[in-house]
């Protein structure tokens, strides 16, 4: 079981932060290449990318649920239970991949035509999504293995997989978008092919580490079939709320960007600039979020509930410290950050102004997310789903008022980020402080 020294927390979180940084590099690289190809390709990849991430949250939610369940089995020293969770999660992900692929191929064209006012943009987004949907099949293996590695604190291999994806994506982007050498000039579709191919290469690496690695000796994943109706239900019980939680959050953000596109002008392009750079701030938050879930779940599984508050405090301190280290440019030199994804002077100044305005919301998110992830780590994912629903409901109501009713300028519309992050953090803290979850969970542990 992981110890709770600062160095041990960093040892687990740093590879995940670097992995998040690499994923941001992939997004920024796509944006930088496509912005130099055409504005239509740039806008389509940004908008369709939100749709893709929203659907991908099905895999992330189920994977997070499996990570929590497997980490609890580590704390309980239950190797067969660990394997049962892993195998059941893989079966569920295969079913999810089949359903989501059908959704993108059959239903998204109609939905895209209805939601997006620019028909040329809608067609471009659909062509991008159709190619990216094949990545769902890579996710069945990638997310299953990644969840098991995160549950035991083995994050370095996840980092290497991200490096493989990033390097291959950048190289393929360069050749396929612009048609260098023998490769055809594919533009937006080239970017989609590059990203999909990169994800399959990362998946093959992770699969090879699982087949040839030592994890299978401690947890005999292949030796016997431990899938059961009971375990499938337990996986879904934890994972489905996380699935819907992620999808609700990102689908609401997608609606937010659709409304911005409907504002007309350059508002969508400017907002996409913010989105790409904004994700840099999420790097330490997501890294420490993964660490929080694993630490809380392991110590909860071991019935060491008195350590949970200490874990929270240490992770919060580290999160804020790393946010100040990695995202201070949003306040001090935002123009330089925006130039990473856009070179158009008319967009840089407005984008930088908005980035300064929203930067404070990131610090609020970093602090409050630890409380939110604590609730997930103890397995109360239905509560986190309710917190997510409350936060997104207030978010979309505020966005509707700011954009549709009061018709604010774009820079003030982005204040909705404060509404979301304050609601999420405050609601999570209130639940942990005022509910009787400790007594309930202790009683459940005694029954085991």
Q: At 439, is the pLDDT very low, low, confident or very high (cuts 50, 70, 90)?
A: low
Tens digit of each residue's pLDDT (9 = 90 or more) over 225-255:
878 888 999 899 999 999 899 888 878 888 9
Residue whose structure tokens are 């158009």: 344
d(CA 432, CA 312): 12
Q: What residue segments make up the domains of the chain, in order of their start? A: 6-447
309: left (phi > 0), else alpha (psi -120 to 50), else beta? alpha
- Cβ atoms of 113 and 119 within 8 Å: the answer is yes
Quote the percentage of the chain above a pLDDT of 70.
96
Three-state SS sequence of the chain: CCCCCHHHHHHHHHHHHHHHHHHHHHHHHHHHHHHHHCHHHHHHHHHHHHHHHHHHHHHHHHHHHHHHHHHHHHHHCCHHHHHHHHHHHHHHHHHHHHHHHHHHHHHHHHHHHHHCCCHHHHHHHHHHHHHHCCHHHHHHHHHHHHHHHHHCCCCHHHHHHHHHHHHHHHHHHHHHHHCCCCCCCCCHHHHHHHHHHHHHHHHHHHHHHHHHCCHHHHCCCCCCCCCCHHHHHHHHHHHHHHHHHHHHHHHHHHHHHHHHHHCCCCHHHHHHHHHHHHHHHHHHHHHHHHHHHHHHHHHHHCCCHHHHHHHHHHHHHHHHHHHHHHHCHHHHCHHHHHCCCCCCHHHHHHHHHHHHHHHHHHHHHHHHHHHHHHHHHCCCHHHHHHHHHHHHHHHHHHHHHHHHHCCCCHHHHCCHHHHHHHHHHHHHHHHHHHCCHHHHHHHHHHHC
Beta carbons of 51 and 131 less than 8 angstroms apart: no
pLDDT score of 24: 67
CA contacts within 13 A on the Cβ side of 69: 29
The answer to whether residue 444 scores a pLDDT higher than 60 is no
| Pair of tokens at residue 223 | 């030796």
Which pLDDT does position 183 carry in this prediction?
A: 82
What are phi and psi for residue 222, nearest 5 degrees?
-100, -15
Per-residue confidence band for 52, with pLDDT thresholds at 50, 70 and 90: confident
Q: Within 13 Å, how many C-alpha atoms sit on residue 390's CB side?
A: 14
Residues whose CB falls within 8 Å of the CB of residue 254, separated by 6 or more in sequence, listed in order: 47, 50, 51, 54
Angle at 296 between CA 294 and CA 299, to 5 degrees: 105
Place of tokens 């991949």: 97
User: Can you say whether residue 2 is alpha, beta or left, with left for phi > 0 and alpha for psi between -120 and 50 degrees?
Assistant: beta
Lowest-confidence range among 150-159, 188-197, 275-284, 424-433? 275-284
Residue 438: the pLDDT is 64
Is the model more confident about 376 or about 27?
A: 376
Minimal CA–CA distance to 41: which of 216, 270, 299, 269?
A: 269
- Residue identified by tokens 């409350």 is 390
Evaluate if residue 423 carries a pLDDT over 80. yes
Percentage of residues of the chain with pLDDT beyond 90: 44
**Rounded Cα distance, 172 and 164, in Å:** 12
Residues with Cβ < 8 Å from 141, sequence gap 6 or more? 90, 203, 206, 207
Q: Find the helix packing angle between 135-151 and 188-212, rounded to 10°.
A: 40
Q: Which of 20-24, 195-199, 230-234, 286-290 has the lowest mean pLDDT?
A: 20-24
Q: At residue 9, does pLDDT exceed 50?
A: yes
Dist CA 2 CA 173 (whole Å)? 39
445, pLDDT greater than 50 = no
Judged by average pLDDT, the poorest of 65-74, 103-112, 197-206 is 103-112
Q: For the segment 369-402, what is each residue's pLDDT rounded down to a tens digit?
A: 999 999 999 989 999 999 999 999 999 999 999 9
What integer pLDDT is reported at residue 106 of this predicted model? 87
Q: What is the pLDDT of residues 255-295, one digit of tens each?
A: 998 899 889 888 988 998 888 787 777 888 988 998 999 99
Q: What is the pLDDT of residue 279?
A: 75
Q: Which residue has the higher pLDDT, 218 or 67?
A: 67
> What average pLDDT does range 117-121 have in this prediction?
79
Confidence of residue 447 (pLDDT cuts 50, 70, 90): very low
């Amino acid at each position: 079981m992981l110890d709770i020294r600062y160095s041990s927390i960093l040892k687990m979180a740093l590879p995940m932060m670097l992995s998040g940084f690499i994923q941001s590099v992939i997004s920024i690289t796509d944006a930088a290449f496509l912005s130099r190809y055409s504005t239509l390709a740039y806008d389509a990849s940004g908008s369709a990318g939100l749709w893709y991430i929203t659907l991908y949250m099905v895999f992330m939610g189920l994977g997070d649920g499996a990570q929590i369940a497997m980490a609890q089995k580590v704390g309980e020293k239950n190797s067969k239970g660990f394997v049962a969770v892993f195998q059941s999660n893989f079966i569920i992900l295969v079913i999810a991949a089949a359903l989501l692929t059908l959704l993108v191929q059959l239903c998204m064209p109609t939905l895209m035509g209805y939601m997006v006012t620019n028909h040329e943009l809608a067609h471009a987004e659909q062509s991008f999504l159709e190619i990216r949907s094949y990545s769902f099949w890579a996710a069945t293996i990638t997310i299953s293995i990644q969840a098991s590695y995160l549950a035991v604190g083995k994050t370095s291999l996840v980092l290497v997989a991200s490096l493989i994806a990033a390097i291959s994506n950048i190289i393929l982007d360069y050749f396929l978008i612009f048609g260098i050498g023998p490769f055809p000039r594919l533009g937006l579709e080239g970017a989609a092919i590059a990203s999909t191919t990169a994800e399959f290469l990362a998946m093959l690496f992770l699969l090879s580490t699982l087949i040839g690695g030592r994890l299978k000796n401690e947890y005999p994943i292949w030796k016997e079939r431990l899938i059961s109706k009971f375990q499938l239900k337990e996986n879904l019980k934890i994972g489905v709320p996380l699935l819907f939680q992620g999808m609700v959050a990102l689908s609401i953000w997608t609606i937010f960007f659709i409304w911005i596109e409907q504002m007309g002008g350059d508002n969508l392009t400017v907002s996409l600039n913010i989105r790409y750079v904004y994700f840099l701030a999420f790097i330490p938050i997501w890294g420490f979020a993964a660490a929080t879930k694993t630490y809380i779940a392991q110590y909860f599984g071991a019935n060491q509930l008195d350590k949970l508050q200490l874990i929270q405090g240490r992770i919060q301190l580290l999160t804020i410290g790393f946010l100040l280290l990695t995202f201070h440019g949003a306040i001090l030199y935002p123009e330089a950050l925006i130039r990473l994804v856009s070179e158009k002077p008319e967009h840089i100044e407005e984008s930088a102004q908005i980035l300064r305005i929203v930067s404070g919301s990131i610090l609020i998110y970093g602090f409050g997310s630890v409380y939110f992830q604590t609730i997930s780590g103890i397995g109360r994912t239905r509560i986190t789903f309710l917190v997510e629903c409350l936060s997104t409901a207030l978010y979309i109501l505020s966005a509707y008022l700011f954009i549709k009713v009061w018709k604010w300028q774009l820079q003030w519309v982005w204040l909705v980020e404060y509404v979301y992050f304050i609601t999420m953090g405050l609601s999570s803290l209130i639940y942990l402080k005022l509910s009787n979850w400790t007594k309930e969970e202790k009683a459940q542990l005694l029954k085991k």
